[in-house]
Structure 1
Amino acid sequence: KKNLPKSNYAVETDDVIALLQHLNDILDYRQNILSSQYDEIGIDAYKAGMTPIVLFYDELAAFVMTLTDKKVKADYDSLIKNLILKGRSAGINVVLSMQKPLATTISTDIRDQLSFRLVLGKNTPKDTRRIVFGESDNQIVMTDNMPISDNWETEKI
Structure 2
Amino acid sequence: MLNNIITIAPGLVWNIDQAPHALVSGVTGGGKSRFLLYLLLELYKRGQIRVIDPKRSDLYQVTKRLLPETHVATTPGQVGRLLRETHDELMARYERMDAFGQPGVTYRDLGLQPLTVIFDEYAAYIADIEDDKKLLKEAKKYIRRIILLGRQAGCFIIIAMQKPSAEVLSTDIRDQLSMRAILGQMDSTGYTMVFGSQPGMRYEYRPAGSGYLYVPGQGYSIPQTFDAPWIDDVSTIEELLWKVKQQKNLN
TM-score (norm 1): 0.83
Give the percent of matched residue pairs that are identical in Structure 1 and Structure 2. Answer: 31
For residues 5-49 of structure 1, the C-alpha deviation after alignment (integer angstroms, 9 at most, x for no partner) is: 21111111111111111011101100111122231x222112322
| Structure 1 residues 13 and 151: CA distance shift in structure 2, 3 A | closer
1:152 and 2:214 are equivalent in the alignment: no
* Residue number in structure 1 paired with 2:171: 108
Q: Give the ranges of 4+ consecutive aligned residues of structure 1 lying more than 6 Å apart after TM superposition.
A: none
* Residue number in structure 1 paired with 2:100: 37
* Residue number in structure 2 paired with 1:50: 112
Indicate if the aligned counterparts of 2:113 and 2:154 stay in contact, CA closer than 8 A. yes
TM-score (norm 2): 0.53
The 1-side partners of 2:135 and 2:179 are apart by 28
Give the paired residue count.
143
* Residue number in structure 2 paired with 1:117: 180
Aligned counterparts, 1:1-157, within 5 A: 1-39=64-102, 41-67=103-129, 68-133=131-196, 151-157=201-207
| Structure 1 residues 126 and 100: CA distance shift in structure 2, 3 A | closer
Question: Per the alignment, in what secondary structure is the counterpart of residue 50 of structure 1?
Answer: coil
Unpaired segments ≥5 residues, structure 1? 142-149
For residues 88-146 of structure 1, the C-alpha deviation after alignment (integer angstroms, 9 at most, x for no partner) is: 2111111111001111211110100001000011112343133112xxx6xx67xxxxx
Larger radius of gyration: 1
The 2-side partners of 1:75 and 1:17 are apart by 8
**TM-superposed deviation, 1:151:** 4.4
RCO greater where, 1 or 2, for CA within 8 Å and sep 6 or more? 2
| Structure 1 residues 49 and 69: CA distance shift in structure 2, 3 A | same
**CA-atom RMSD, angstroms?**
1.8
Unpaired segments ≥5 residues, structure 2? 1-63, 208-251
